[in-house]
């Protein structure tokens, strides 16, 4: 029997638990051998759901798990970079949840660490890259289906969570452009080309439902425009107050056509005709929309590690995405448009 | 200024009033000069809404209105044929609401009367023939867009009217296949060819919400299959209990493709994203769906009368549609399939 | 580590290979230990894709595989019943592809065999029972969302296969109502209640693209109506000539609302706006539509075997579905409506 | 018979001809008595299609037409303001096509002229205000259906016209934000409140298909963000290069829900299932989308004039819309964000 990739997952919170289950149950070529969490409740959960997996409460100890080959970093964002680097330095392949960090410099340090170990597979978990619909759209564009892609619109809009969770979360999330739109930014870089150079960034936002977000310099609705050198524009919307559920969507507009991804959100294929009209429900959260993409991610990461295949996208793009996200967040807060020259170097803006 | 067609409308009930307003206000080449209703409430309504129009409470008197050229018959179904024939005999063009009659023989008598006055335009008001979507579908089929049309599915489903109106109505409506599906049957004859010959007819139905319908040998949900000689099948559904609103729809399935008309019903172009999901409203009744078709009907009938143009479809088809509708209704009640030979002559079926 | 269900798959053709891969890779609690196929090409395929699985060319030998607990029967339809019965008699849980047989009597023999081994899980593979959308619809109905379900419409329409495959296939398929609509019939029994009693059956069909089907008493487009005692009607459509792809859809119409499943087919969530309009692609075949349902089926069957849980539906329903399918196929060929009394006993019809 | 509003139309180009026909044929309470065009081809057209209407080649002469009560100004944009003012000064009601002018000052001069004649009805032709779907959306919002409206997204995207017409047109159009997005801006003012005060404006754009537009300081794809004081944001997209047809759409996002208008564009209700998938066509131009709105506009303007009703929206809003459109266009060309204080007074921005 072919050897399976020996995988550990760091973090067993909401997303970490999903990664752990996906590697445990839905990734035939991987074997989840270890998991790390400092949280007792998560340890208890793991004993029930991750049978046969060694649970560590110390990340460094977990890295020493015998035979371990790969680590999935799915802890809080603030720990991503340090744990990813430790994993790399310990000679493990690393799949790190997005963003690498909310800081451009720290994100870059992960890339630098990875560059020193070129034999390792180090990937940032941009799940939409593994979504069948986005891939379908990309292939159609890549095959010339819409001419030259020119305008890119993308949104990540979360269902309103009235618990106020997002206020506490905003302290470390990096802000709505770094936390939510990072996916849309990454998609723009995918569709426009990973090496696209930003020309300007401008953003605006409001706190429509959670004014407390302002203390963390964040908003619950944000709009941003990113110009790229070479005649391309991306614009983004993110929101924390959708009533009906999570709704991401993307349009890629080319000189000969347009691709729309999830313009018509739906959950199952059921429509209910009732007294008030025709109704359909949509997923409550991004996992309801992207569950299959996460499974594909786990399987493809595993295959790349085992077979020494190229990863589907470069780690350095994750730094570029954070850079754009941070610039949007800065523009949101300063009220200033930020400009860059054709080499991507920031131009000094004059304060009003 | 070019002379306008001098038109009278017989009947100012729900549909008659709409015809009257359409000829009064939305048919530039027609002038509504007279209307007939025996109902005082409708006379009062006419004095407010049909300014300048002479209102008669006697149909025969109305026919004598000076200069009258055309009559729209929109009274109760039981009066259609007699009034249409009187109009024809008085030398008027006639637009008669569907069905001509719930009896095949009486329907045929209208055709016979019309045959004696070939210079007159006599048309049965199959409104869907004037609907932009059905015309679009027909043209696509006619241009070969789906190969050879082979299977035809069509439904006319009304919003549930909890008032019980349909029970009283059923006494004279001819039954659900004659009253509702008559449109679908007419469409099948349009798309398959007006001279298609029926091979067999079978139907079934239930009274899910209005058991009193049984006393009029009717149902509130009916399903029927009509085979045509030459390898074509139509199947129909009609209902009186839609919760969300009126929903007609049609599919024409050909050897190379399929046309779907109104598979996704909607009212306006608005969708409401709310806590319970994504919702759209649909029209409450057929007029919400077909208002523009009725206006087109009025204008095209007018133009045909004034310019002596050919009508878009033959009057004899209306008899064929009633014949099929009555056969379906009979099959519903007898439980027997009814067969016809290749000339369309009914074959004797053996009672069980 | 918890023991895994030891599973074998019989048949490695199109569907068998999928079952084998699903049990091999996507069913964490199962271990595919054996497979049977007499076809050398499939043996070769298995050696590549089913690593570690013992491949047998004799079904009886496979049944003797040490430790084997469950068998998936996915050979040709004509072998289903015999292999299922052998599996049962050998004390194995059995998941048998639909239909058990194209014969009611033979189908019943599987049920009879299963009744003698009540400790075994024996299930017919009605994959739609595991589809998230159908389950969503069922739960909404079951929770009263549409009042009393009364009319059921369902279709299974396959993409046109110009190779003529279906002609050869029709020799043993049992005909379009047994092969395609069996799913729709099973759904009707699910939604209306497994013990619904048929009152009448009538069908019609044409050979629009493959006239050779007539030699196997089959058609490429079929329409049927099934009345149930108690005021319920189901009507079905099946086709082998869809241009755009596979399109199954179902409507459950109740006294207070309607549920539509897959009324708007789509493949991925991508829409392409191009010169000719807005276009989306739909799945080419049923597996493109139901892949996830098959995976769920594998996992739930496994769990039922391991945990001795109740299966989600009764095996006897599969006989009822075949009985209705065969009656529709008979009606198609005889041109006669077939009636049943309130106990489900067939009434003698009089030949014309 | 009630007197009809005596109407003249100035300009018989593409849009003027449509207005003329609408007032001639589809506005029962109006009588088109005169029209003006200096173009011989249009005079000829009028003699065929506007029977009984006096055609003038001099605007001032037309204003003297006996009994004239109202003028529809539908000439080139550069003539709108002058002709509207002349009409007002001659004591005529005026329906002026949008925009009043591409200059804020000139637009204001029309408002000033109207203020001196308060008995006259002077309206800018924002056709979407009369569209059934936008009205439906507005009413739902107004009734609290989405909580507090907070984010507004709207686009006006035209089908690519490869003739290069838009390049010549751009010389006088005022630019894409003034010509196309003026509708979206007006909608934002409608939904957010006519007296909303702009806080900032920023825009970006590209010339993806028509680089010659740069000589008129215009683009073929533009994106803009408008912040309003009070925590509201609108963002806009306009394009001249849609492959599939015209696609306007709008979302109004509130604290409790979202309204989407025309998220799923379609033309008729027909979908074509063919080898390449499922396809629908969409309107080629805005008139295909808004024809009924223009007819409603004609009828409501007429009713307001005859009955001395209030117009549905204030003329001054048209100046506000032009002001925002011009600011977006300026920002597009300067690359600068433009800020306004809470009274709407522009803040000096510092050049880079």
pLDDT digit string, tens, across residues C296-326: 999 999 999 999 999 999 999 999 999 999 9
Judged against a pLDDT cut of 70, whether residue C249 lies above it is answered with: yes
C 304-333 residues with CB < 8 A to B: none
CA nearest to B307, candidates B47, B29, B16: B29
Q: How many CB pairs under 8 A join A and C?
A: 86
Is the CB of residue D207 less than 8 Å from the CB of residue D219?
A: yes
Q: For residue C33, which residues of chain A lie inside 8 Å, CB to CB? A: none
Say if the Cβ atoms of A140 and C272 lie within 8 Å: yes
Which pLDDT score is estimated for C350?
A: 52
- Note whether D48 contacts B: Cβ–Cβ < 8 A: no
Q: For residue A244, which residues of chain D lie inside 8 Å, CB to CB? A: 257-258
Judged against a pLDDT cut of 90, whether residue D1 lies above it is answered with: no
CA nearest to A103, candidates A77, A128, A122: A77
A 241-280 residues with CB < 8 A to B: 242-245, 247, 265-267, 273-280
Say if the Cβ atoms of B277 and A275 lie within 8 Å: no
Nearest CB neighbour to D261, from listed B51, B146, B269: B269
Number of residues assigned to chain B: 352
- Note whether A288 contacts C: Cβ–Cβ < 8 A: no
Judged against a pLDDT cut of 90, whether residue D73 lies above it is answered with: yes
Q: What is the pLDDT of residues C187-215, one digit of tens each?
A: 999 999 999 999 999 999 999 999 999 99
Closest Cα in chain B, distance from residue A264 (Å): 10
* Residue ranges for chain B with pLDDT beneath 70: 1, 349-352
When the pLDDT of each residue in chain C is averaged and rounded to a whole number, the result is 96
Q: For residue A140, which residues of chain C lie inside 8 Å, CB to CB? A: 270, 272
CA nearest to A301, candidates A313, A290, A289: A313
B66, with CB counted inside 10 A (0-12, 13-18, 19+), is exposed
Is beta strand C93-97 parallel, antiparallel or unpaired with respect to C221-228?
unpaired
Of the listed ranges A42-56, A238-252, B4-18, C161-175, the least confidently predicted one is C161-175
Which pLDDT score is estimated for A352?
A: 44
Q: What is the pLDDT of residues D80-92, one digit of tens each?
A: 999 999 999 999 9
Q: What is the pLDDT of residues D266-284, one digit of tens each?
A: 999 999 999 999 999 999 9
Q: What is the pLDDT of residues A297-319, one digit of tens each?
A: 999 999 999 999 999 999 999 99
Is the CB of residue D240 less than 8 Å from the CB of residue D161?
A: yes
Q: For residue C208, which residues of chain B lie inside 8 Å, CB to CB? A: 148, 150-151, 231, 255
Closest Cα in chain A, distance from residue C269 (Å): 5
Say if the Cβ atoms of A259 and C273 lie within 8 Å: yes
Q: Which two tokens stand for residue D112?
A: 């000033």
Is the CB of residue B179 less than 8 Å from the CB of residue B219?
A: no
Interface mutation target, options C272, C277, C283, chain D, most CBs of D under 10 Å: C277
Which pLDDT score is estimated for B191?
A: 98
Which pLDDT score is estimated for C164?
A: 81
Which pLDDT score is estimated for C352?
A: 44
Query: Regarding predicted confidence, which is higher, D329 or C2?
Result: D329
- Note whether C281 contacts D: Cβ–Cβ < 8 A: yes
3-class DSSP state for residue A34?
A: strand
Say if the Cβ atoms of A244 and B274 lie within 8 Å: yes
How many CB atoms are located within 10 Å of the residue A205 CB?
Answer: 30
Beta bridge partners, C272, equal: A259, C279
Interface mutation target, options D137, D146, D269, chain B, most CBs of B under 10 Å: D269
Q: Which two tokens stand for residue A228?
A: 């790229």
- Its pTM stands at 0.95
Closest Cα in chain A, distance from residue C71 (Å): 21
- In angstroms, the CA A337 to CA A201 distance is 6
- In angstroms, the CA C183 to CA C154 distance is 9
Q: For residue C267, which residues of chain D lie inside 8 Å, CB to CB? A: 277
Q: For residue A273, which residues of chain B lie inside 8 Å, CB to CB? A: 242-244, 247
Cα nearest neighbour of B231 on chain C: C206
Q: What is the DSSP letter of D215?
A: G
Q: What is the DSSP letter of C33?
A: E
CA nearest to B14, candidates B312, B327, B285, B301: B285
Say if the Cβ atoms of D282 and C280 lie within 8 Å: no
Say if the Cβ atoms of B242 and A273 lie within 8 Å: yes
Percentage of residues of chain C with pLDDT beyond 70? 99
Interface mutation target, options A146, A202, A203, A236, chain D, most CBs of D under 10 Å: A202
Percentage of residues of chain A with pLDDT beyond 90? 94
3-class DSSP state for residue D199?
A: strand
Judged against a pLDDT cut of 70, whether residue D219 lies above it is answered with: yes
Q: For residue A233, which residues of chain D lie inside 8 Å, CB to CB? A: 204-206, 221, 223
- In angstroms, the CA B245 to CA C145 distance is 16
Cα nearest neighbour of A268 on chain B: B277
Partners of chain D (3+ Cβ pairs below 8 A): A, B, C
- Note whether C132 contacts A: Cβ–Cβ < 8 A: yes
Confidence of residue D150 (pLDDT cuts 50, 70, 90): very high
Cα distances from A46 to residues A18, A32, A33, in angstroms, run: 11, 12, 12
Torsions phi, psi for C221 (to 5 deg): -145, 125
Confidence of residue C183 (pLDDT cuts 50, 70, 90): very high
Number of residues assigned to chain C: 352
Say if the Cβ atoms of B350 and C352 lie within 8 Å: yes
Cα nearest neighbour of D253 on chain A: A242
Interface mutation target, options C162, C239, C242, C244, chain D, most CBs of D under 10 Å: C244
Q: For residue A253, which residues of chain D lie inside 8 Å, CB to CB? A: 221, 239, 241
Domains of chain C from N-terminus onward: 5-124 (3.40.50.720), 129-291+320-339 (3.30.360.10)
Where helices occur in A175-285 by DSSP H, the ranges are 176-179, 182-192
Where helices occur in chain D by DSSP H, the ranges are 14-25, 40-49, 59-63, 77-89, 104-115, 132-142, 165-173, 176-179, 182-192, 286-307, 316-334
Nearest CB neighbour to B243, from listed A242, A274, A280: A274
Percentage of residues of chain D with pLDDT beyond 70? 99
Cα nearest neighbour of A250 on chain C: C270
Confidence of residue A1 (pLDDT cuts 50, 70, 90): low
Judged against a pLDDT cut of 90, whether residue D172 lies above it is answered with: no
Partners of chain B (3+ Cβ pairs below 8 A): A, C, D
Is the CB of residue D194 less than 8 Å from the CB of residue D320?
A: yes
- Note whether A79 contacts B: Cβ–Cβ < 8 A: no
- In angstroms, the CA D9 to CA D42 distance is 12
Question: How many CA atoms lie within 13 Å of A74's alpha carbon, on the beta-carbon side?
Answer: 29
Nearest CB neighbour to D265, from listed C243, C276, C278: C278
Q: What is the pLDDT of residues A106-161, one digit of tens each?
A: 999 999 999 999 999 999 999 999 999 999 999 999 999 999 999 999 999 999 99
Average pLDDT over residues D203-212: 96
Q: What is the pLDDT of residues A211-229, one digit of tens each?
A: 999 999 999 999 999 999 9
Which pLDDT score is estimated for B350?
A: 52
Cα nearest neighbour of B145 on chain C: C243
Tokens 């998941």 belong to residue: C95
- Note whether B133 contacts D: Cβ–Cβ < 8 A: yes
Is the CB of residue C201 less than 8 Å from the CB of residue C226?
A: yes
Average pLDDT over residues D102-115: 97
């Amino acid at each position: 029997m072919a050897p399976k990739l020996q995988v550990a997952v760091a973090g067993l919170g909401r997303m970490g638990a999903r990664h752990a289950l996906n590697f445990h149950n839905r990734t035939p070529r991987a074997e989840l051998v270890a998991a790390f969490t400092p949280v007792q409740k998560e340890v208890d959960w793991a004993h029930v759901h991750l049978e046969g997996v060694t649970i560590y409460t110390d990340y460094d100890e977990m890295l020493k798990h015998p035979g371990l080959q790969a680590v999935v970093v799915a802890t809080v964002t603030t720990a991503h970079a340090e744990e990813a680097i430790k994993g790399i330095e310990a000679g493990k392949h690393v799949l790190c949840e997005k963003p690498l960090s909310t800081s451009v410099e720290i994100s870059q340090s992960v890339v630098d660490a990875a560059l020193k170990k070129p034999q390792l597979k180090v990937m940032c978990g941009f799940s939409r890259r593994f979504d069948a619909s986005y891939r379908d759209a990309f292939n159609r564009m890549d095959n010339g289906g819409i001419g030259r892609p020119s305008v890119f619109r993308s949104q990540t809009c979360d269902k309103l969570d009235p618990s106020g969770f997002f206020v506490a979360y905003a302290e470390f999330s990096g802000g709505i452009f770094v936390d939510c739109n990072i996916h849309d930014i990454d998609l723009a870089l995918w569709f426009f080309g990973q090496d696209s150079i930003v020309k300007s960034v401008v953003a605006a936002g409001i706190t429509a439902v959670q004014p407390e977000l302002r203390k963390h310099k964040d908003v619950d609705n944000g709009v941003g425009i990113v110009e790229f050198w070479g005649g391309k524009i991306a614009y983004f919307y993110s929101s924390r107050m959708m009533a009906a559920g999570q709704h991401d969507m993307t349009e890629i507009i080319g000189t000969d056509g347009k691709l729309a991804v999830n313009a018509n959100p739906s959950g199952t294929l059921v429509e209910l005709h009732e007294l008030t009209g025709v109704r359909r429900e949509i997923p409550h959260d991004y996992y309801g929309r992207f569950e299959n993409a996460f499974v594909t991610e786990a399987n493809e990461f595993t295959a790349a590690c085992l077979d020494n295949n190229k990863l589907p996208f470069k780690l350095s793009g994750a730094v570029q995405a954070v850079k754009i996200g941070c610039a949007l967040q800065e523009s949101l807060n300063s009220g200033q448009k930020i400009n860059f020259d054709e080499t991507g170097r920031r131009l000094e803006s004059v304060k009003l």
